[in-house]
Chain A
Amino acid sequence: MKLKKALVLAAIVSMLATAASPAASAATPYEAYTYNYYEDSVPLPAPYVPEKAISGQSLGVGSFNQPNDLFVTEDGFIYILDSGNARIIALDNEWRVIRTIESFDIDGTENKFANPSGIFVSDKKEIYVADTDKGRVVVLTNEGELIRVVNNPQSEILPQGFKFVPLKVTVDKAGRIFVVARGMYEGIMQFDEKGRFLGYVGTIKVSTNPADRLWRTLATDAQKAQMQLFIPTEFASVDIDSKGFVYATTVDINSTETIKRLNPSGQDVLKRFGYYPPRGDIRYRRLGNNSGPSKLVDIKVLGDGMYVALDSLRARLFTYNDEGELLYAFGGRGTQLGVFNTPVAVERAGDKLVVLDRGKNNIVVFKPTQFGKLVTEATIEHYNGNTDRSVDIWRDVLRLNSNFDIAYLGIGRSLLMEKKNKEAMAYFKLGMHRKYYSTAFKRYRREVMQEQFGNFMTTLMVLIAAFVAYRIARKVRVRRSDRREA
């Protein structure tokens, strides 16, 4: 009878729970999540909600046709590379069309783009376009006048019959151009400000597994010729941060280092201090629909150490902090506002995120929620060393979501800096970070030992004295009884 009652109660509670949950998640067509220490995905409150979708019609320039890239400058001006229509649409920070660039003059003759796939706008408002099918990078002024064309790179290190097929382009403050080109397994191509080829940066290591190596050693020469070569994978996208470090993604199913941060000499210096390296989804199906690791096709540096990577396979956005810890992931496939068909590019406009969807021929603008804003603020404060301020914000974050491990770690790190070791230990334990916990515990233990050293030594001395006294007393008693017997 009791059991029956309990079952009925459980049924009612579960019904209430299912009735209540849609109201909470109705705002977004996706569920945001992050991964915890046990590599389970933990639901989060949505960090961003879709605000609006912008299409060619709504801008009044005719619908987009297979747009491949977009770029948003620091002051919020937006440049859309409408590849199918071979044009650039420039917008101001209020989403009003300033101009469309359909053609430009080379030596007095009109010239058009052919299936361009990458765009970058420098601080000086110079537009760099990777004009893929014509094998060139076109540099234009903001008004659409030609400055320079970068094509036919000449170098001894380039292979014979090399064909330059630029896909993505980015430029640093000094005007050096970084180009991701198709079929360039050696790395990202680097050009100087005059357009001369300098060399490669960020060569990807060839990855082989032992089984392949074994087969290769066993195979005959004829079989070896049939086998495919061990070639490294290509880069998929590039971006540059304010310090001149190049962020790049690769699409490589065998690698866990699909996001790279290259220093000026071309080495990967990305911090991977999270529970797992930044590479999109950690848990995914191995076989069947929607299977395989994330395919990161675009990356955008958000500033203050944060960056966001776009997974085109499951159409999700992954935001990481400077330590390589996943802050949140969200997005998905679908037809509603806020989910994508074929997302190809992600950009930041102020505190909003802008995603270009090639399949839907539109742009979706995401605005941060209270939760998203707090996480960003706290990360920025922590990155800039304002630990006490970041603690307060992290506590607010925890009030909204007490399952957010990074908030615990953030508070713990700040407490550690303030030498509040015991509290820091508790937070590191909640955040499951053994390395930091050990540091805090080491300091705490030393503190306790220094404090208790006096008491400890007193007890020890008293015990020794008592032991000595006992031995003497026993000896005296033995001697006395000896004397009595004698």
Chain B
Amino acid sequence: MVRRSARSRNRRQEPAVKQLPWRQLVNPYSPIEVLSTDQIEAIHQSSLVLLERTGMRVLHEEARKILKAAGADVDPTTKMVRFDRGLVEEKVALVPSEFTLRARNPERDITLGGNRIAFCTVSGPAYCTDLDRGRRTGTFADTCDFLRLAQSLNIIHQEGGWGFEPQDLPPETRHLDMYQAQCRLLDKTWQPWALGRERSVDAIEMACIAFGTDREGLAKRPPFLTVVNTNTPLQLDIPMAEGLIEYAQAGQVVCVTPFTLAGAMGPVTLAGTLSLQNAEALAVLTLIQIVNPGAPAMYGAFTSNVDMKSGSPAFGTPEYTKAALASGQLARRHGIPFRSSNTNTSNTVDAQAVYESAMSLWGAIMGHANLVYHAAGWLEGGLTASFEKLIVDAEMLQMMAEYMKPIEVSEDTLALEAIEEVGPGGHFFGSPHTLERYETAFYSPMLSDWRNYETWKEAGSIDTTTRANKIWKRLLEEYQPVPLDPAVDEALAAYVAKRKEGMPAAGK
């Protein structure tokens, strides 16, 4: 058979960094259910008993008042709030099963709920690290680079809250500079912080400026999702309560996430820790729905275990994975969008970092998380954000995105004729069936090196982490600015300047 050569085409240019295009992902598979319906019910009932019999200590006075007015049983001296199961069930039923977050670029809006899943960068670490400069306290310039990378990686659907702490900025006003940088450098959605009232109000005010809208407009099309941890066991602290009330009132999405570390903050048995997680999540979701009935919210789960020999948290453990899968079942039982994470405990970007991450990711994907928080960049139990790990994770996330494309079974894909045509002992490289499809048939990696040993060796034996280092630098070079409307930019700068009046300046 004579085939026309494809030489008429121009010589192909490979992109410097091979990325999948931006796409909101849908998870087509049935979730893995590690617990039976009866077991899920038993956990849920245990949570309700806990809320009725013991309740939660709510340290924030206003939150206690709000709960009391809605019929919860509040003891002002112990600050304990006990919840009737009727109240909990009535309020939790109000949480919408799906919501859409508005991005600066409408093509980057994301919807969370049902089968949809989105990936979000790491947030919270005190340190950052990369191969060139090592582990260090990050600066404003470093965090801006991390934001640029979050913007440049198509597989990242949301920026998680500036990666790590810019410790050269004073803590009182750090959030103002960071919100401004998030507005400037990203056209995707990004997370603000809920730690205290001021950080929350500033985010809401700055979003009104950025979107040229008012609070009402912002509530109609919320741009924000923010994470609120409970202070497990059975406590809600003051800054987080302040934050959640502000965001809930403004109609923004609060992702309630009990951080239940079995062994330290929860019982060593997963069933017990899951019932504690579920109780705390339901209590805070109840509070949110009292503050603003129908406000969008998420059921976040962060159950892992500690190292019983040091008390420090461990992540990506088998217990973590099982807990993620079970938490997905609980969230679906309540009909609330579910958040999970991509975590590990490794001190460097090595095999441990990746196999623990892989365990976490499988728990998130097969547990049907709608949002995978800390999906890229997390290292060292969340104490450090790594530029190389960001890229390694992006590769894993791209692989997961491809994994979530279901196997198509049709006359076409069964390829009966092609198999018969090639016949026994032949090969498929030249089969017309292959030629029609080969370019997009398989995932083409961004980071993996598939060359044979000798070729790889001759090219310098470059390992994954070093390749990741090259990729993030390349991405930074190629970062495409997403300029803000100058009037908006100016208004944001004016807001920040005004708020900084009388506050400590950098260098303190």
A and B from one complex: no
